[in-house]
Structure 1
Amino acid sequence: MNLPEVTIRPADASDAERLALIGATTFAETYAGLVDGQAIVDHCASAHTPDAYRNLLNEGAAAWLALVEPGAAPAGYALTYEPDLEAAEPGDRELRRIYALSRFHGAGVGAALLDAAIRGSGDSERLLVGVKNDNHRAISFYRKQGFEQIGTRTFSVACKSYDDLVLARPIAAKASQ
């Protein structure tokens, strides 16, 4: 399949609508059939709104958008934040979300977004991510990118509990020092 060229750039609060659109679309696309349907709707109605993204960015999150032509259409994004994972240590940063439209899976968009998130993680020593324990495609992607399991956690989507693997990888600049 011939895909358009993808550009990755930092996102800011003016991109909240783009982030919300990709967030809700890819969350539903990824978890339909794996997570309760009403939980998906409820979660997207609260966590994937423009205001939710503006708040995250105003509270210290960093994000990067994958855009395609024509018109810089959003195709994916990555978002990092201070970790709230039990396995976190001082110097860690959490990759809270990395989403790409399924049309762009396997085209390098996820790797490019991850690279941008790593480069944008400042003085952080490790990047952590929680991934649903049966999301084999994502787990495989993260393992190929150098992540290893360091723990587990339970997370909720609209009051329903699910299990995550917690994965970590050193940030290259710190790992080579």
Structure 2
Amino acid sequence: MFFVRTAGKQDLEAILALLSETWHDTYDAIYGPDRVAEITASWHSRQSLEAKLTQLASEFIVADDGTRIGGVAFAAWSDQQTKRVTLHQLYVHPDCQGQRIGAALLGEIIDAFPDANALRLEVEPANEKAIGFYRAHGFEKVGETKDCGGRTGIPAAIYERPLATD
């Protein structure tokens, strides 16, 4: 059984491996293995993960069963005026998919931002599995971008889910 907890420096190597394996499993057929390796090295470097550990107004979590990291998620406030949070990462290792790890990570991210009105994300339009997951969890397509993450030149669909606030 996996438990969700805050990511720590001791998790970085396992997270790096999870991201690489998950990206190759998901995106090799879309971008090719060489491009996936290039993207993974850039977006998921040890340096970028370390920065997430201390980023203010964010949540960096893992799903851990005591022997391995089965999933990872990272979200941060993107606009505190409109009370919008951006989900930057939510990945579950291919061997662990279908065990509700993604739902547990998503739930923890939502709980971490109780004042948020909306949770937004960008997803590769050809990643039907991810889109199906997000739609099943209340996300709707609200737009598109030609520059996923604002720095890549890779197109993405933008999905958003309203969040209940008291």
> What interval of TM-score do these two structures reach, taking the shorter chain for normalisation?
0.7 to 0.9
Greater helix share, 1 or 2? 2
1:109 aligns with 2:101: yes
Question: Structure 1 residues 160, 96: closer, same or farther in 2, change over 3 A?
Answer: closer
Residue pair 1:76, 1:100 contacting (<8 A) in 2 also: yes
Residue pair 1:16, 1:51 contacting (<8 A) in 2 also: no
SS at match of 1:162: coil
- Partner Cα separation in structure 2 for residue 149 and residue 89 of structure 1: 22
Residue pair 1:19, 1:50 contacting (<8 A) in 2 also: no
1:53 aligns with 2:49: yes
Alpha-carbon offset, residue 38 of structure 1: 2.2
Unpaired stretches in structure 2, ≥5 consecutive residues = none
SS at match of 1:82: strand
Q: TM-score, normalised by structure 2?
A: 0.87
Question: Structure 1 residues 33, 56: closer, same or farther in 2, change over 3 A?
Answer: same
SS at match of 1:34: helix
- Partner Cα separation in structure 1 for residue 43 and residue 152 of structure 2: 15
Residue pair 1:154, 1:161 contacting (<8 A) in 2 also: yes
The letter for the 2-side match of 1:23 is L
The letter for the 2-side match of 1:67 is D
The letter for the 2-side match of 1:127 is L
1:44 to 29, 40, 47: 40
- Partner Cα separation in structure 1 for residue 87 and residue 148 of structure 2: 17
The letter for the 2-side match of 1:29 is D
Residue pair 1:17, 1:49 contacting (<8 A) in 2 also: no
1:8 aligns with 2:4: yes
Q: Percent identity?
A: 24
Alpha-carbon offset, residue 7 of structure 1: 1.1
The letter for the 1-side match of 2:83 is G
The size of the alignment, in residue pairs, is: 164
Question: Structure 1 residues 35, 160: closer, same or farther in 2, change over 3 A?
Answer: farther
Residue pair 2:86, 2:120 contacting (<8 A) in 1 also: yes
Alpha-carbon offset, residue 156 of structure 1: 5.7
1:135 aligns with 2:132: no
2:78 to 83, 101, 104: 83
2:29 to 10, 28, 33: 33
Who is 1:66 aligned against? 63
The letter for the 2-side match of 1:48 is H
Moved more, 11-20 or 58-67: 11-20
Question: Structure 1 residues 14, 145: closer, same or farther in 2, change over 3 A?
Answer: same
SS at match of 1:165: strand
1:152 aligns with 2:147: no
- Partner Cα separation in structure 1 for residue 111 and residue 148 of structure 2: 30
SS at match of 1:146: coil
Q: TM-score, normalised by structure 1?
A: 0.82
SS at match of 2:38: helix
